[in-house]
Structures are given as C-alpha cells and as structure tokens.
Amino acid sequence: MGQKSNFITLRQENQNKISFYNDNFIIYKYIFCYYLEVFLKQRGVYILYNDFFFKNAVGFVNFNLFYTKRKLNFIKKKKLSRIKKPLNIKVLLKLFSKISVKFNITKLKFNFVILNNKIDKNILTFFYNKFKKYSIILFEKKFYLFIDFLKIISLIYCNVLKINNLLIILTTIFSNLHKKKHTKFIDFIDFIFSCLCEKKNSNIKGIKFIVKGKLLGKSRASIYIIKKGRISIQTLKENISFNKQHVYTKYGVFGFKVWVNKKYDS
C-alpha cells in the first residue's frame, strides 16, 4: 500500500513562497475588524458583513450595517447612549496608523451599506402578526429587541441576509431570558425555522439547530436539536453553510450551532 498524502506537506515548495507579509495583514485585518465591531456594537450598530483589503497603496473597507431600534431612538432624540466602559476611538486610530505604516496604505475608502433601508414594510407587518404571541412571553419590557428581530427576519426572508446572521439577534434574546423560559425559546426557534422552510420559492432546503448548555438551570448540560427539512452533513454535493456562537448568561455558557442547506444559484 502506498503512503497517504498529507495536505499540510503537499506542494511544500509553493507554500514556502507565500510571504509572511500576507499572513501579517490577515492578523491585523482581523484585529481591526474585531475592534471596529465592538466599537459599533456598544453604540447599537451591528456589522453583519465586513471586508478589508488593499490594492496599490489604497485600503478598501466594506461593511453591511444594521441599526438597532435603540440606536435609532437616540438619533431621533439627539441623546448620547449610556455605555458601560466604552471602547475609545483612539484605539482604532492607533491600530489603523500601525496598519498604514506597515503596509504602505496612503488612502482609505469606506463603503457602508445600511440594511435598514432595504426592509419591506409589508413583510415586516406580516411577521409582526405571526410572532405577536411571543412579544409578551420572551420580549417582556424589551419591545425594541422584538422589532430588531422582526427586521432581521424580514431581511432573511427577502434573501438580503444569510440565515447565519440570525444567531446575532438570537444570542441577545437568550442572554436576557429567565431559566423558566428556555423551553418557550426553543419553541420560538422551531416556529422561526418552520416559517422560513415553508416559504414559497424558498432557497433553503433544510436547517439543523443545536442548543447545548444547562437548560432550565439544571446542574448538568443537555443538548436539544431542532431539524427542519432535508440536511445531510456527510456529503460534499450539498451547499451547506455552518455557524456557531457562544452565549454568556448567569446560568452558564451556552452554545448555538446552525447548519443551513441551500439551493445552488442557477
């Protein structure tokens, strides 16, 4: 029998040609995007897509932004938001000056897409009537969070956002919940995925969702799996995207995992 080929040592000559310059830029890019994400999140703005690259000494920054209801209220009232230990903008400026000196970037071009402008009001009212019963159960005294959830769902329904972006709003909802409402939250997720899969002309074939942690405040961690439609993880033919996120609550750390089986674009 022949020796198995190792993908790490395969074509080692070509791998050695990859400069440390590019690796360094990826690290700096990740740090810059992370700090900018934290900076905007503290001010009620979510980055749902980010891309940062440079060409001919010019840096290009592309972002898809989503303004939360709380942030929009502060803009209307012209008041500053109360932020616990806010990230200073000087940290971002120092980081960018480091990147510009190290990689010889002279100009920076920003391209922001505000997703709030792409929301269809008719779809928003349709989802409001559908999820109205959960507004009292899960969104008690947090109606602004319920509206943000409806906006993200309507953007996913219109294929503007990916379903993986739903985890951002689900983690914020779950982190504020009481342990007695964990089962209602799982029913809520089940209802969301059934609505998205049963949609007419939907490009989603199937969804698999896993919640792991001390549900209902139990001493031992348990796993709950929600599966809708057809999803097979063992094949490479299907167009399956995966995302995971941690939720930090007073009952412990919970893990959310989602697999989405989509149709290929024709």
Tens of pLDDT along 6-17?
444 444 444 444
Q: Which two tokens stand for residue 104?
A: 């010889």
CA angle 219-224-226, nearest 5°? Answer: 165
Q: Please state, rounded to an integer, the average pLDDT across all residues of the chain.
A: 77
pLDDT at 80: 45
Q: Which residues pair with 226 in a beta bridge?
A: 209
The answer on pLDDT for 37 being more than 90 is no
- Residue 173 and residue 179 in contact, taking contact as beta carbons nearer than 8 Å: no
Q: Among the ranges 4-18, 29-43, 47-61, 119-133, which has the highest mean pLDDT value? A: 119-133
DSSP-derived pairing of the beta strands 239-249 and 252-262: antiparallel
User: Looking at residues 156-175, what average pLDDT do you find?
Assistant: 84
The answer on pLDDT for 191 being more than 50 is yes
179 Cβ neighbours under 8 A, 6+ residues apart: 215, 216, 217, 251
Structural domains for the chain: 12-115 (3.30.300), 119-262 (3.30.1140.32)
The answer to which of 25-39, 80-94, 150-164, 201-215 has the lowest mean pLDDT is 80-94
User: Looking at residues 60-67, what average pLDDT do you find?
Assistant: 83
259 vs 227: CA distance, rounded Å: 9
Q: How are strands ordered across the β-sheet holding 204-213? A: 222-229, 204-213, 252-262, 239-249
Instruction: For the full predicted model, state whether its pTM sits above 0.85.
Output: no
